[in-house]
Amino acid sequence: MKVNLLYSGGKDSSLAAWMLRRLGYEVKLITVSFGYADFAHYARESALALGFEHEIKKLSQEVLSQACELIAGDGFPRRGLHQLHLAALEALARESEAIADGTRRDDRVPMPTLSEVQSIEQRYGVTYLAPLRGFGKRSIKNLTSRIFNIEYAPSEASKSADYEKEVRAYLKDKGYDVNKIFPSHVQSRVIGYKGENDE
């Protein structure tokens, strides 16, 4: 079965892609861009290094600006990032048989809830897969460090295509202090496999 997976180039979405392929799915990686700042090419480099087909999907800048208003109003990013993730899943759902993401059990950013997921499945006649949902932080760290070569960097400087990157760029240009809104954290970027047989 063909599945389109939302991809940032980070370790979680890379592991989700690797897992689905191991389980027999035909996986294509999709990176969403809102056309405000170009980070999607970093994800493309990671996707190609891992031997996956990759596509950059443009979403309306309106979606980004609405989420950014929410984030600026809240003073923290949770709800806005959740909204962007749902918008990205819906955009994929319109043109896919199955969609997937790298959300995991212990994620801090709110994951799509069961009812949100079932609503997308029913409205678009699509299947949603979240292969990391049954795995905790430690298991994912063990798997990713065994399989991938990974670069780590503070999120403001990282070469990842997480939604956070475009949100940061947008809010910064609007004059917000993004380091107050986003807690300081480290972002991962997968740059290849560790072993020859990992693919």
Q: Residue numbers of the site for a second copy (CB under 8 A)?
A: 1, 19, 22-24, 98, 103, 105, 114, 117-118, 121, 127-136, 138-139, 142-143, 146
Q: In this structure, what token pair is assigned to residue 116?
A: 């949100």
CB of 22 to a second copy, least distance (A): 5
Return the residue matching tokens 């996707």.
47
Q: Residue 97, Cβ neighbours under 10 Å: how many? A: 13
Distance (Å, rounded) from C-alpha 127 to C-alpha 80? 24
CB of 52 to a second copy, least distance (A): 17
Length of the chain, in residues: 199
Closer to a second copy by CB, 126 or 178: give it: 126
CB of 119 to a second copy, least distance (A): 13
Return the residue matching tokens 């109003």.
73
Which helix (H) or strand (E) element contains residue 146? helix 137-147
Q: Helix or strand or coil: residue 104?
A: coil
Cβ pair 11, 143 in contact under 8 A: no
Closer to a second copy by CB, 138 or 180: give it: 138
Distance (Å, rounded) from C-alpha 96 to C-alpha 93? 5
CB of 69 to a second copy, least distance (A): 31
Closer to a second copy by CB, 175 or 195: give it: 195
Closer to a second copy by CB, 6 or 132: give it: 132
Closer to a second copy by CB, 51 or 136: give it: 136
Distance (Å, rounded) from C-alpha 30 to C-alpha 137? 24
CB of 16 to a second copy, least distance (A): 9
